[in-house]
Amino acid sequence: MATMGHSYTTVAQNVAPEPASSPPLLRQIFDEYQNNGVIMTHYNYTGKLQENRYRNGLKPEAITFLVICLLIVLENAVVLVAIWKNKKFHLPMYYLLGNLTLSDLLAGFTYMVNIVLSGPKTLELTPLLWFLREGGVFITLAASIISLLAIAIERHITMVNMKTYHRAKRYRMFALIGASWILSLLLGILPIMGWNCMGHLPGCSTVLPLYARSYILFCVSVFIAVLLAIVVLYVRIFRIVKSNTRKLGCLRKSQARKSRKCMDLLKTVTIVLGVFIACWLPLFVLLLLDFFCKVGQCFVLLKADYFLGIAIINSLLNPIIYTLTSKDMRRAIIRLLCRHCLMTEDGHVKKIGIPFLDCSTSKIEKSAYRLEGLETTVSSGNITPSTIKVLYPRMLRS
């Protein structure tokens, strides 16, 4: 009996560990995501530990970027409040502008958190926290870029069709907003879901040592495709407005002012494309270089923070380009920030405020909102219903 009991105990001891070792792969992945040594290994392999910024505190350039991020958050917050408090901005097109503003605000905030958790704190992070830190920046920056595409799509549809507001337009707006965030989230969570280089150092990015270079190439390809799509759409809008301007130029002199206003849109479109390309192209080129360069060969990759900082500046400029070029938006923001300085209690502009705020509201400008927010559609609010009536008389009658 003792022998049988001893053998039973031995078998039980041999069988017992099996349930605990049933998910070894999941446990291994979990342990790797919580292993701080993985960060040290990857940063040492890519040569980033040679930089002093992982030993000392925040450098002056990091503090500068922190200030820029703070300005981005404050600036975009003011625009969001202005849109929320003014019912005249509760139009479908303004939803897209608000979505762009929100994504820019979050981009500034996440990059500010990224900077605070950088430097010496980077080496204290676990891979899980590292993926969350970098993924947050990726998601918000991607949302900002894709929001620009959504705005370009909506403006192109509106300029081509020139139809008055209908309920389907609102659904299209929400569809564009939802699609922009879904695509951004998918791009941002791919590394933490497994598309990374943990366990395969030769495939690691130098700029982002835990990201696979193939993932970096994929993201750059998506962003470049978005950029090209934006350029194509705005070129088409440019041609439409230019054609309309020529038609107006053939009309009587009373239409000359409207023709000049159409030219303002062309300038705005040029600024939009120029600023977007100037801010993002350096980062795209750097990330492409990251894919093709072997580890330790391209030292410029160790200065990636400057390139990302330039891209972040686009979030600082977007509200200025897309909203402050609108007279009504300027009026709303100044009324929000400095109502007592430039305006009287009954809402009229003081003489001192006239040089800063040209906000006379005529009957034509009031009726512009009946045309589905055409002011927003053309960036600067300069195409009036009378202009559209001259160009598309039959369509408006229908």
Domain locations along the chain: 40-397
Q: Confidence band (pLDDT; 50, 70, 90) for 246?
A: low
CA distance from start to end of the chain: 100
Buried residues in 307-325 as b, exposed as e (16+ CB within 10 A)? bbbbbbbbbbbbbebbbeb
Token pair, residue 169, equals 């337009």
Which tokens hold the place of 266? 């062309």
Token pair of 94 as six digits: 């303004």
Which region among 56-60, 103-107, 230-234, 250-254 has the lowest average model confidence (pLDDT)? Answer: 250-254
Give the tokens for residue 291.
């894919």
Average pLDDT over the chain, rounded to an integer? 75
pLDDT, tens digit (0-9, with 9 covering 90-100), for 101-147: 899 999 999 999 998 888 888 888 889 999 999 999 999 989 989 98
Flag whether pLDDT at 384 surpasses 70. no
- Model confidence over 97-106: pLDDT tens digits? 889 889 999 9
pLDDT tens per residue across span 69-85 = 999 999 899 888 888 87
pLDDT for 88 equals: 73
Q: Which residues of 228-256 are buried (b: 16+ CB within 10 A; e: fewer)?
A: eebeebbeebeebbeebbeebeeeeeebe
- How is residue 45 written in tokens? 């392999």
The interaxial angle of helices 92-116 and 304-322, nearest 10 deg, is: 150
* Residue 64 to residues 61, 69, 119, 281, 309, Cα–Cα distance (Å): 5, 9, 15, 21, 10
Q: How many residues does the chain have?
A: 398
**Nearest Cα to Cα of residue 216 among 294, 288, 313:** 288
pTM of structure: 0.76
For 107, the token pair is 């981009």
> How far apart, in whole angstroms, are the C-alpha atoms of residue 48 and residue 208?
10
Enter the tokens of residue 272. Answer: 């939009």
Task: Give the C-alpha distances (Å, rounded to integers) separating 252 from 127, 256, 261, 383.
Answer: 68, 7, 15, 17
> Are the C-beta atoms of residues 61 and 305 closer than 8 Å to each other?
yes
Q: How far, in Å, CA of 219 to CA of 236, rounded?
A: 26
The span from the CA of 58 to the CA of 54, in Å, is 9
CATH of 40-397, one of 2.60.120.260, 3.40.30.10, 3.40.190.10, 1.20.1070.10: 1.20.1070.10
| Across 4-8, 145-149, 218-222, 233-237, least confident range | 4-8
Q: Do residues 126 and 34 touch, judged by C-beta distance below 8 A? A: yes
**329 band by pLDDT with thresholds 50, 70 and 90:** confident
Give the pair of three-digit tokens for residue 82.
């202005």
